[in-house]
Amino acid sequence: MGARSKTDNQQDSPPTPGMVTKLFDRVRVIKRNHPELSRRVDAMEAEIRDRLMSIRDCIDEFPPMERELITVLVINGVHKMCDEILIDDVTDNA
């Protein structure tokens, strides 16, 4: 096997005190530096939440024995879309 990459080493390192605080601070700075984009993302997240609530209301109309399976399928579908759109597209363009 070859040498471990820097990314592998970072994943193996244990969390350090203050790590989460540093990440939140970094996110806060990024959002502060891009207020309009942050507001747009927040608004779209609220829209996604509203749509998911509508999906949940629709799922609630299924017979009780089928709700759990339908819920899992919807969650998997949404997760897959998030991966394809938000993650795969970023790595494809890199």
Please give the pLDDT value at position 84.
93
Output the six-digit token pair for 20.
């989460």
Q: How far apart are CA 2 and CA 48, in angstroms?
A: 43
Whole-number CA gyration radius for the chain: 19
- For residues 44 and 69, state if they share a domain: no
The answer to whether position 9 is within a domain reads no
Q: Provide φ and ψ at 52, rounded to 5°.
A: -65, -35
- For residues 42 and 69, state if they share a domain: no
pLDDT per position as a tens digit, 15-46: 788 888 999 999 999 999 999 999 999 999 99
Residue type for 56, please? R
Over the chain, what is the mean pLDDT?
Answer: 87
Q: How far apart are CA 44 and CA 49, in angstroms?
A: 9
- Predicted confidence band of residue 1 (pLDDT cuts 50, 70, 90): very low
For residue 89, the surrounding DSSP H or E stretch is helix 89-93
Range of the domain at 28: 18-61
What is the mean predicted confidence (pLDDT) over 53-61? Answer: 97
